[in-house]
Amino acid sequence: MPSPRFPIPQGTLDMLILQILSLEPAHGYGIAQRLEQISRSVVQVNQGSLYPALHRLQQRGWLRAEWKQSETGREAKFYSLTPAGRRQLAVEKDSWARLSGAVNLIFEEGSR
């Protein structure tokens, strides 16, 4: 039986993480849950692959992390956006918009 959800396209995970963190700081589990909610269960994200992405983004200086008390009272690692991360998000949003615009244009061309 084919899965009703398709796997997340290559390279968009980073952008989605940045987008989620631009709203408020969150820990890994929180980001995973929000991803599920925001994508309305359409996009399937492997929970594990979140962590390499988070560490990569942190190493690039787009995220910063600190240990804080979470809603359950336990210490959790909270990620938040750095100014560089915010700029990166803008860049990625922009290129995404242009890409999807271009793809749409091609589809409309073909359907005419």
Partner 1 sequence: MIQLLNWFRRRALERGLNRELQYHFDRRVADLTAAGIPEPEARRRVAAELRLPRVREEVRDVWLTRWFRDFLYDLRFSARSFLRSPGFTAATLLSLALGIGATTAIYSLVDQVILHALPVREPGRLVLVDWNGDDLITYATGSSNLMPYSICRDLQQQTRFLDGVLCRAEIQVNLTAGGDPRPVAAEIVSGSYFSVLGVGPTLGRVIEPEDDAAPGAGPVVVLSYDFWQAQLGGAADIVGRKVLIGNHPMTVVGVAAAGFRGVDVGAVPAFWMPTSMSADANLDEDDLLHSPVRWLQILARLRPDVTLAQAQTGLQPWFKAWLEESTRSPVFPRISADHRREYLATTLELASAPQGHSPLRRSLSQPLWLLFAATGVLLGLACLNVAGLFLARGSARGREIGTRLALGASRGRIGRQLLADSLLLAVAGGVLGAAVAPLAIRGLIAFLPHDLAANALRDTLSFRLLTFAFLASIAAGLLSGLAPAFHAGGDSLVNSLRERGGTGFGGVRLRKMIVTLQVAFSLILLVGAALFLRTLTGLLAKGPGFDTSSLLSFAIAPLQNGYSGADASRLIRRLDEQVRALPVARSSAAARIAFLNGWAWSNYVTIQTDRRIVSNRTVYFNAVSPGYFATLGVRLLAGRDFDRSDVRPVGEIGPRCAIVNEAFVKRYLAGRDPLGVLIARGGSSDVKPDSRIVGVVADISYRGVRDDSEQVFFPLFEHDDTGATFYIKVRGAPEQAIPSIRRLVREDDPRLPILWFRTLDDQVNRSLNTERMLAALSVSFGGLALLLSLVGLYGVMSFVVTRRTREIGIRLALGATGGSAIRLVLRDAVFMIAVGMAIALPCVAALGKLVQSQLFGVTATDPATIAAAALVLGAGALVAAFIPAWRASNVTPTDALRLE
- Give 59 or 111: the residue with its C-beta nearer to partner 1: 59
5 belongs to the binding site for partner 1 (CB under 8 A): no
- Contact residues for 97 (Cβ-Cβ < 8 A; gap 6+): none
- Give 27 or 34: the residue with its C-beta nearer to partner 1: 27
Asked if 63 and 79 count as a contact pair (C-beta separation under 8 A), the reply is yes
- Give 12 or 47: the residue with its C-beta nearer to partner 1: 47
Q: What amino acid occupies position 64?
A: R
- Residue selected from 72, 108, 109, 111 as contacting partner 1 according to rule CB under 8 A: 72
Would strands 75-81 and 26-27 be described as parallel, antiparallel, or unpaired?
antiparallel
* Distance of alpha carbon 69 from alpha carbon 72, whole angstroms: 8
Which residues 11-70 are close enough to bind partner 1 by CB under 8 A?
A: 27-29, 32, 46-49, 51-52, 55-56, 59, 70
- Give all strands (DSSP E) within 1-112, no chain letters: 6-7, 26-27, 43-44, 63-69, 75-81
- Residue selected from 64, 77, 86, 93 as contacting partner 1 according to rule CB under 8 A: 77
Residues that bind partner 1 (CB under 8 A): 27-29, 32, 46-49, 51-52, 55-56, 59, 70, 72, 74-77
